Amino acid sequence: MTELRFVQVDAFADAPFTGNPAAVMPLDEWLPDATLQAIAMENNLSETAFTVPAGEGEYELRWFTPTTEVALCGHATLASGHVLIEGGEVRFRTRKAGMLKVRREGEALTLDLPVTLVKPTEDAALLRALGTPDAQLFLSWRGAEATAIILLDDAGAVRACAPDMRALRGIELMAIVTAPGDGGYDVVSRVFVPAWGVDEDPVTGSAHAALAPFWAERLGRDSFTAFQASSRGGRVECRLAGDRAILGGRCVTVIEGRYRL
């Protein structure tokens, strides 16, 4: 019998049961892909992050939803940093997103991600599936994974958005609905990824890697506060630094245990 460490972390969270939960499982070496996927399915969280040591303060990192491996996950990277950081910084080697860094800044952590740039486009089927037929649509491709930003008029429209999840399961992308914020936040958003096994993601770091340049241009400044208005909700401090998005937030450990395989 093999025992593996398991830590469940609420990322971009100021208190337990807010933000986005992620499982973090530090490994000594890689397990077969089928085993990693089975563990992620068993966890049934939006993401399970697996790490393997790759040098002092450095790890290889992979992310799995309950149904598939993904190219980039922000909140599970922040959660991994929360679990593994010992000094001021921890670095993660990834297969498709390059080197990612998590740094300690006071009581919070910052996550350094490559930005995602979107361009105006048209996709009537996507907008119908989201229930936003008259919205402005912007799209970007990162390898085989697409990111869509859907710009709505106000925060109320974002909160009221009621997508057809069955229709969205047939559209391979991450859909981000967003608008100017309310309640003291500059920006509000929600994120839907049914095609990747998660109907609505609670708080999405990779989505804010697209929202950072998108809203920096519209707000006329490089820093702003964002709120992802899922049922759990989460605050993300966003800063654009060249071709990187610096995302700040806190993490809370809620479960620690052992997997037995």
Active-site residue set: 47
For 112, the 3-state DSSP assignment is strand
Three-class SS of 178-216: EEECCCCCCEEEEEEEHHHCEEEECCCHHHHHHHHHHHH
For 95, the 3-state DSSP assignment is coil
d(CA 199, CA 165): 7
Distances (CA, A) of 172 to 141, 147, 153, 162, 194: 11, 9, 25, 18, 8
Q: Locate all alpha helices (DSSP H) within the chain, ordered by sequence.
A: 33-43, 74-84, 124-130, 155-160, 165-168, 205-219
Let me know: does 50 contact 43? Beta carbons within 8 Å.
no
Structure tokens at 157: 């429209």
First to last CA, the chain: 6
| Other residues' Cβ atoms within 10 Å of the Cβ of residue 35 | 14
